[in-house]
């Protein structure tokens, strides 16, 4: 699958390398970079001065108690919060080096770069095949795509999410008839043909049983390296197993962000260890 994802891997943080001629070679931008990002729902402030640098090509987990702003942060990155008329923000969010809050940004382009997976699988009431092709068709409206090209797109996306063998004989069947675990895999599959740089996942396993959780986690690992993944989870074991870096949030603030191993084994802030050790929920 390595050939399908966008080339977003980068030694982020490394200084721009100099060529022999001395010209700087640019490195790929951070996937997500926020500066002093604040968000209010009406008069209630849900995010406070969030400064985050999410690196390209790795898996970052986001943990923290319910209500600390994890979903709000994810929804801010692809600008779905703003549908609510009473949301106000200050600060900036750059996605792949571009300010997504700028007035002249095309939302369709933002959403092309960022795919989002929600807590409950939300396949469209269409066939399995049409679900996989849905986003691709929107982003290639007006272009001629042959049936065989579509067939390839569908097979590749379903193989990438480890679902092909299970559904290949029933691609015309309704997506909503699949077991929940397969539905969630399908919701990931339908993002892939659009070739997003970033996948935001908001507790993608929370509606699944332990077996389904394991299967979807395995899939998330499979996507590692081909996509930048930011995944919110309440499952400490999942965060620990499945992520390279970890962000801990509390009451709308980022308390700690570092290598997952460090955050879990030697957190810098006592509030992080309190949370990880289950002292509050």
Ligand X SMILES: Nc1ncnc2c1ncn2[C@@H]1O[C@H](COP(=O)(O)OP(=O)(O)O)[C@@H](O)[C@H]1O
**Secondary structure element (H or E) that encloses residue 32, with its range:** strand 32-41
Name the minimum Å distance from CB 115 to ligand X. 18
Residue 72 lies near Mg ion (rule: CB under 5 A): no
- Give the CA angle between residues 270, 272, 225 to the nearest 5°: 145
Name the minimum Å distance from CB 46 to ligand X. 4
Site string for ligand X, 82-121 (x = CB under 6 A): --x-------------------------------------
Stretch that binds ligand X, among 66-74, 109-117, 145-153, 205-213 (CB under 6 A): 66-74
Residue 43 lies near ligand X (rule: CB under 6 A): no
Residue 67 lies near ligand X (rule: CB under 6 A): yes
Residue 68 lies near ligand X (rule: CB under 6 A): yes
User: Strands across the sheet with 59-63, in order?
Assistant: 114-117, 198-202, 228-232, 59-63, 245-250, 253-259
Of these, 34, 56, 60, 71, which contacts ligand X (CB under 6 A)? 71
Confirm if 128 and 172 have CB atoms less than 8 A apart: yes
Residue 131 lies near Mg ion (rule: CB under 5 A): no
Helix (H, G, I), strand (E, B) or coil at 33: strand
Name the minimum Å distance from CB 17 to ligand X. 38
Stretch that binds Mg ion, among 35-43, 66-74, 172-180, 252-260 (CB under 5 A): 66-74
Name the minimum Å distance from CB 86 to ligand X. 7
Nearest to 10 by CA among 25, 30, 33: 30
Cα distances (angstroms) measured from residue 78 to each of 19, 56, 108, 205: 36, 16, 10, 21
Of these, 60, 61, 71, 81, which contacts Mg ion (CB under 5 A)? 71
Confirm if 119 and 207 have CB atoms less than 8 A apart: yes
Phi, psi dihedral angles at 60 (to 5 degrees): -115, 130
- CA-based Rg of the chain, rounded to a whole angstrom? 19
Binding site for ligand X (CB under 6 A): 41, 44, 46, 64, 66-72, 84
Binding site for Mg ion (CB under 5 A): 71
């Amino acid at each position: 699958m390595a050939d399908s994802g966008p080339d977003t891997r980068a030694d982020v943080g490394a200084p721009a390398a100099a060529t022999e001629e001395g010209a700087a070679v640019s490195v790929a931008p951070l996937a997500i970079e926020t500066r002093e990002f604040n968000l209010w729902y009406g008069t209630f402030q849900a995010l406070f001065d969030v400064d985050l640098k999410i690196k390209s090509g790795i898996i970052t987990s986001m943990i923290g108690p319910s209500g600390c702003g994890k979903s709000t942060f994810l929804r801010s990155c692809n600008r779905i919060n703003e549908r609510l008329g009473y949301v106000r923000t200050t600060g900036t969010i750059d996605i792949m080096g571009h300010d997504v809050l700028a007035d002249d940004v095309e939302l369709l382009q933002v959403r092309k770069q960022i795919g989002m997976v929600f807590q409950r699988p939300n396949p469209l009431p269409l066939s399995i095949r049409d679900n996989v092709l849905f986003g691709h068709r929107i982003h290639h409206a007006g272009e001629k795509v042959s049936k065989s090209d579509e067939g390839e797109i569908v097979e590749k996306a379903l193989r990438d999410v480890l679902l092909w063998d299970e559904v290949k004989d029933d691609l015309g069947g309704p997506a909503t008839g699949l077991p929940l675990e397969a539905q969630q895999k399908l919701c990931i599959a339908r993002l892939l043909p659009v070739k997003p740089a970033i996948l935001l996942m908001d507790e993608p396993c929370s509606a699944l049983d332990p077996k389904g959780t394991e299967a979807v986690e395995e899939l998330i690992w499979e996507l590692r390296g081909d996509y930048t993944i930011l995944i919110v989870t309440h499952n400490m074991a999942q965060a620990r197993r499945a992520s390279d870096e970890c962000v801990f949030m509390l009451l709308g603030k980022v308390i700690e962000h570092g290598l997952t191993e460090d955050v879990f084994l030697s957190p810098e802030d006592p509030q992080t260890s309190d949370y990880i050790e289950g002292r509050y929920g």
